[in-house]
Amino acid sequence: MKRQKVIVWVILSWVGVFFSEAKSQSITVGADCVSSYIWRGSYCGSVSIQPSLGIEYKGLTFGAWGSTDLTSPDLELDLALGYVFKGFEVAITDYYFNEVDGVEYNYFKYRNGKTSHTFEATLGYTFNEKFPLSLSWNTYFAGADASYDKKRSYSTYVQLSYPFKLWSIDMAAEVGITPWRGIYADKFNVVDISMKGEKSIPITQSFSLPLFAGIVFNPTTDKAYLIAGVSF
């Protein structure tokens, strides 16, 4: 519990660093509305609003991302601190859910030593503009990671993503695998095969509405999803 609180404190303390150097920052604010919340090949919710806030300062990034299910009381808040340098990216993410398996969890309180926060370390690399293949390794290392035989499972998701343009539509093909038993599968498996596209629809001379859609297959669970959304 103490370790998890320290991680949350470290992530939040960086917010002050970013705001103290306002002139050097790049700040982004946005929100998506999605027909279904599908993440890493798994169904996480129905129609959802997903706001985001991002701050960048000399390669350092701080991001806040949330999801509110419009058909249930489920809420999610993720905080991420990262650093990008010449195609490499390292990051720590804190995933928080207000309710897990019918049990409600407050953000700063813990129930019997358990928490709904899960902490993940990420190492990624993007090659270059001519060959924009991205690779990332993501492993849970603390918090509510599923455990087996009273040992932490270190659930891991490895993703390969390749963006490309098809006619006037921005596309991306992604494959996600898990190398061992964890929350994604009970052994090595492919858990996400997806194709997504995005296109801005002109509304006025000065305003366009970005629309996106995608199809997702999860061979492990034998599920398939078709999703759509709009960005603001």
Map out the domains of the chain as residue ranges.
2-231
pLDDT in tens, 173-188: 999 999 999 999 999 9
Tally helices (H) and strands (E) across the chain.
Answer: 1, 18
Fold (CATH) for 2-231: Porin (2.40.160)
- Which three-class secondary structure state does DSSP give residue 124? strand
Give 155-163 contacts, CB < 8 A, sequence gap 24+.
Answer: 155/182, 155/183, 155/184, 156/180, 156/182, 157/40, 157/184, 157/191, 159/40, 159/134, 159/135, 159/192, 160/133, 160/134, 160/135, 161/133, 161/134, 161/136, 162/132, 162/133, 162/134, 163/132
pLDDT in tens, 16-69: 555 555 555 689 999 999 999 999 999 999 999 999 999 998 899 999 999 999
Residue in the structure block whose two tokens are 């964890």: 182
**CB distance 120 to 137 below 8 Å:** no
pLDDT in tens, 80-115: 999 999 999 999 999 999 988 778 888 887 665 578
